[in-house]
């Protein structure tokens, strides 16, 4: 059986689409369709059911993928590890949310860019969870950091770390809040206070209110800016209260630039996932970055 046909088959199986598989393989969609038909003739049974959106594997297709995919991934690993030292001079394309990627992920990866003959070139791009996962699936990125766990077989996600959210404000606003009333009455003690957020829909504040106060915020945002670092700067300047990840505001809390307004028994958490296209961890430059981020995340906890 032709290994090229099996590689195309496994890519289609993971992508769930001839179109997406063609993009990942650098082939035309008719070429992918032709290869799958050839393989189906060799096997003697259909491997996929064509649907309005993409394809679904048949029982035979699932069985063949289960048998073939690990061996194809192992061949890729053998081929990559057999290359000379120049193979380490690869470019890693990383994508993730701007603040977390800039403050946590990129500093952790800088040791892999060392100039000792085995350094890694690094290219980063920012986007929402949907954007980075779509880019990863399309082959634009090698590694993605996402707050959403992807579905399907094309992408493989590994939990990276949990992000704790903290309700903060500048000291002058904190002084106006009756902390006893806040403990007793919850969110009503925060009514009429200005809010700084990343979007009009108040995604972080609404999540915090739901998790901690079992309610929805009544106020609208006074300042909206699509970057958590700018939200922190506005909160420090006294623009209003904000909900921020602890990693981002720890320094400001320690300096007294902002004050934590509430200390719930169970703080709201958001999980980050490290995501790759299935099978690509056989490539050394992706595997090194993946391992380095997981080791770094153990320290972030």
Over residues 59-64, mean pLDDT? 90
pTM of the predicted structure, to 2 decimals: 0.76
**CB distance 147 to 97 below 8 Å:** yes
Going by their DSSP bridges, the two strands 155-169 and 269-277 should be labelled as antiparallel
**CB distance 244 to 100 below 8 Å:** no
**Burial degree of 195 (CB within 10 A; 0-12, 13-18, 19+):** buried
Alpha carbon distance 287, 245 (integer Å) = 27
The single-letter DSSP state of residue 221 is: P
Over residues 54-69, mean pLDDT? 89
pLDDT digits (tens, 9 = 90+) for 177-221: 766 667 666 777 787 789 999 999 999 999 999 999 888 888 789
Alpha carbon distance 164, 266 (integer Å) = 10
pLDDT digits (tens, 9 = 90+) for 83-102: 544 444 478 999 999 999 99
| SS3 (DSSP) at 154 | coil
Q: Which residues of 169-181 are buried (b: 16+ CB within 10 A; e: fewer)?
A: bbeebeeebeeee
- Give residue for tokens 């690509």: 280
**CB distance 163 to 245 below 8 Å:** yes
Alpha carbon distance 293, 100 (integer Å) = 12
Domains and CATH numbers, the chain: 3-81 (1.10.10.10), 92-160+272-298 (3.40.190.10), 163-269 (3.40.190.10)
Residue 177 CB partners (closer than 8 Å, separation 6+): 169, 189, 190, 193, 261
Give the residue among 103, 72, 31 at the shortest CA–CA distance from 278: 72
pLDDT digits (tens, 9 = 90+) for 115-135: 665 678 999 999 999 999 999
- Helical pair 246-255 and 228-236, crossing angle rounded to 10 deg: 20
What's the confidence (pLDDT) of residue 89?
47
What sign for the dihedral angle of Cα 135, 138, 142, 144?
Answer: positive
């Amino acid at each position: 059986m032709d290994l090229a046909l099996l590689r195309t088959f496994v890519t289609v199986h993971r992508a769930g689409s001839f179109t997406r598989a063609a993009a990942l393989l650098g082939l035309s969609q008719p070429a992918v369709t032709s290869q799958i038909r050839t393989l189906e003739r060799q096997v003697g049974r259909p491997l996929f059911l064509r649907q309005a959106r993409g394809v679904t594997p048949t029982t035979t297709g699932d069985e063949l993928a289960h048998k073939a995919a690990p061996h194809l991934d192992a061949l890729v690993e053998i081929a990559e590890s057999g290359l000379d030292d120049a193979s380490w001079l690869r470019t890693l394309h990383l994508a993730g949310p701007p603040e977390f990627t800039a403050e946590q992920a990129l500093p952790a990866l800088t040791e892999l860019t060392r100039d000792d003959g085995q350094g890694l070139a690094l290219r980063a791009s920012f986007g929402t969870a949907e954007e980075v996962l779509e880019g990863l699936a399309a082959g634009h990125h090698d590694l993605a950091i996402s707050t959403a766990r992807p579905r399907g077989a094309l992408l493989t996600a590994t939990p990276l770390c949990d992000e704790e959210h903290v309700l903060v404000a500048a000291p002058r606003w904190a002084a106006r809040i009756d902390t006893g009333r806040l403990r007793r009455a919850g969110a009503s003690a925060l009514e009429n206070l200005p809010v700084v957020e990343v979007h009009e829909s108040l995604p972080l504040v609404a999540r915090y209110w739901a998790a901690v106060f079992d309610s929805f915020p009544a106020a609208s945002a006074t300042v909206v800016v699509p970057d958590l670092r700018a939200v922190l700067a506005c909160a420090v300047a006294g623009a209003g209260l904000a909900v921020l990840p602890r990693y981002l505001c720890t320094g400001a809390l320690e300096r007294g630039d902002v004050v934590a307004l509430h200390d719930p028994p169970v703080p709201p958490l958001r999980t980050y996932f490290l995501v790759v296209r299935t099978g690509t961890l056989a490539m050394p430059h992706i595997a090194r970055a993946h391992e380095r981020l997981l080791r770094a995340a153990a320290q972030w906890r």
